[in-house]
Structure formats: structure tokens, C-alpha cells
Amino acid sequence: MENHYIMTNKISKENIWHHIGYIEISRARKETLKSIGSEDYKLPSQISKETKLTSSQVSNALKSLKDRKLVICLNESSKKGRLYKCTDLAYMC
């Protein structure tokens, strides 16, 4: 079964490798993605606690991962208690 993200956005293998390299060069991005994994959602504070990263490191990692469409915020309008989930693209990486 093909991934929905691939079907709608025609992601190439080269593009996938580009994303993998981007994740691998940052411990914070890599650990943040691992922490979220296949969970339905995760709070930044939970990620910080599990990964032993500072809240600033997690926040920066989430922002850059969100910009690359690797994670989404499920409740963007909330000031506190934001919930993050990996996208289909993140599962491919």
C-alpha cells in the first residue's frame, strides 16, 4: 500500500534521502522524532523528559521538523499543551 504523502506529493527517493540526512545531522531532531515515534501525540515536555534534551532544544527541533513537514501540531492555536505527531513523511525516513 502506497503512502498517502507519496501519492499526493510525488516524493522521490532522492528527496527522502535529503530528509534523512537533515534528521541525522542533528541529535535533537533525531531524538525528537524517535520520541514521538508512532504515538498518537506527544507533548514537548514529554519529549524533553524522555530524551534528556532541554525544552529549547526540543522546541527548535519541533519547529524545524514542522517546517519540513515531518511533524504536525494537532492543536496549533493552543498556547500551552501543544500536541505533536509524526507525519507519513517522517515514517518513511
Give per-residue pLDDT as tens, 2-43: 344 444 456 788 889 999 999 999 999 999 999 999 999 999
Q: List Cα–Cα distances, 81 to 64, 68, 90, in angstroms.
A: 19, 22, 22
- The grid cell for 80 is 500551552
Rounded mean pLDDT of the chain? 90
Sequence-distant (≥ 6) Cβ neighbours of residue 37 within 8 angstroms: 86
Contact 68, 22 (CB under 8 A): yes
Q: List Cα–Cα distances, 28 to 24, 65, 78, in angstroms.
A: 9, 10, 23
Give per-residue pLDDT as tens, 56-84: 999 999 999 999 999 999 999 999 999 99
Secondary structure class of 81 (helix, strand, coil) = coil
- pTM for this structure? 0.85
Structural fold of domain 4-92: Arc Repressor Mutant, subunit A (1.10.10)
Q: Domain residues of the chain, as ranges?
A: 4-92
